[in-house]
Chain A
Amino acid sequence: MSDHAFDDQLSELLPRLRRFALWLTRDLSSADDLVQSTMERALSTQAAKREDGDLRAWLFRILYRQFLDARRRSQRYAWLLGRLRQDDEPQWPSAERELLAQSALAAFEHLTPEQRSLLLWVTVEGLSYQQVADILDVPIGTVMSRLSRARQAMRRHGEGEQPAPSLRILK
């Protein structure tokens, strides 16, 4: 694939990547930082290594890894500052908050980043279970059981059932 064709494909996938990053980070500027480092990683990869597999799944994998790395770093940092709990509170940008309210998707907010990612990859992006397994580096059976938990959590937090406070803590 020529650089030019590759750039075009990246450019086309950019909105999806940003959307995914936004659902992970809940903040547009951190989301764009994440997308930027993902793009840099993608562009610095040897052309030969990009050929196999689905470009979209590969980019999601890079982005998700970067997100986890960044979170690990910031949690260490937050721990040092003694405000780990505070960081856990959801802080959606107002537009997203509105969207959540409108679409009655408030339940989504209570999921862990991995659960959100799983549901986005499978139901919105339509990635195969195998692709998701590759992204998370787990066997496909593990993907299925995590998907069950994500879907149950979505149920538990949605549809009128008020989440018991204890659930949050035990989760």
Chain B
Amino acid sequence: MRVRKSLTAVAVALVAALAAAGCGGSGSGDSGKKTVTMWIYPVIFDEAKHRAFWDETVKAFQAQHPDIQVKTEIFPWANRDQALATAIAGNKGPDVVYLIPDQLPKYARNIEPVDAYLDDAAKSDYLDNVVKSVTIDGKMMGAPILTSAVTMMCNKKVFEAVGQTTYPATWNDLLTMAPAFKAKGYDVTAYPGDVKNTLNQTFYPLLWQAGGDVFSPDGKSVAFNSDAGRKALTFVKQLVDGGYVDKTLLTTLPPTEQTRIAQNKVACLWHSAPQEVEQFWGKENIKVLPPLTETKQIGYGTVGSLAMLKGAKDKKAAGEWIAYASGADVTKKYDTASSFFSPKKSAGTLFAGDPVLGEQEKYVGVTTVGPLHEKARDVQGVLAPEIQAALLGKKSVDQALSDAAKAADALLG
């Protein structure tokens, strides 16, 4: 009998444990101190420095708000949407999260607009295009903390080695000078075609430069299957077919130090940030150029913002934190440390004396944040393999784009 009792106890305990685990989660965090959890990504490349930055910022914040505890978690860039969507679905989402404009529509229904938590002075200090990029249905979905501009940049060492003195400004320039580089064993540029790369930095800039766009204005269909799209893809294909770019990068994504880019064999890039190549090229060898021009001159640039999720445990506390972390002082420090640019009018230019970043900062005006569409990321998933197919000669440019458009429209439908 005793045994049965103890067995019953075991069974009951097990069921209770399962049940408790199942119903748990809501009971935590009500012990007086308010907590705010923030997910951020490696905006500052060096993890230790990044962590130190936030630890310090949190400490300063707590000096003003001793009752609020802030926990920052640094997530990797890779698969960040997957992690966030899963967490939100499982009620494990953060209170505050770093989002960029092309993610906002996807999470719009999970986001608590920040308008009510920022004061008017802060709101009016933002650059107009920055505000526009984070606004959905008239509401600010996030408080911008940084902007970026991905411009063209070239490796001076390579240009010297080849004896080239002019730098490319248009697609045609690239194609014309390509053979000279090839003859000396260099690549004029690189096209990272592996599907893990975001098209925002690889194919879309070309599409925009050719006058095209990813989605139709009403967002009900895709628009890349157009003359502009075909022109852009044909341009890349010319680079590939001419042997002017490293074919390995079209389909694989080796660590940077293993690529020709790091080995100073590639002349110019339009998809990377200077921080990524600095250690291989040397900062003094980076020549920053404006975004390429075809029909128009335009490049990719993003706006990083802190958004509050509807599931935030204590919205007021989260709002306080967002207001603080997106304030002029904090963002200025953050942007300087991370080599990004400020979204604030009051900040002025952060890198005026810097030959690389100061140069890039000038082009913030000719950048676009990319397609603002709920399915933007999903569309990339179907377009990227078709671009590969065209570049490898498995499909014609026309065929690849129309197949991609068909698959993408099915996603939107």
- Do A and B make up one complex? no
Show the binding face of A for B, using Cβ within 8 Å: none
